[in-house]
Amino acid sequence: MSQLNGHATVMVMGALRELIKNRKYAYISSTNFGYSHLEDPGKELVISIVQSVLPLLAQAQAEEVKEEAEKLMLDKLSK
């Protein structure tokens, strides 16, 4: 996993952990976690979180593709 993917993962997980602590954003059932759900403001916040890390994920993917292309080129040149 690239460093950018790691940063994006940490950002999303941290935001989600905070989100579930606030009843305005999420209902967390203490008797059956299957009944837990996002409230409408929570759904909007999740979309915002995803949109904020999307550039990091896109950059990470581009870097991975570039690194793989460079590796393939070096492999072909060394033969």
Residue 29: its pLDDT value, please?
95
The span from the CA of 50 to the CA of 33, in Å, is 23
- pLDDT confidence bin for 7, thresholds 50/70/90: confident
Whether the per-residue pLDDT at 2 is higher than 90: the answer is no
For 23-68, what is each residue's pLDDT tens digit? Answer: 999 999 999 999 999 999 999 999 999 999 999 889 989 999 999 9
pLDDT at 76: 86
Residue 1's pLDDT is what? 60
How far is Cα 75 from Cα 79, in angstroms, rounded to an integer?
7
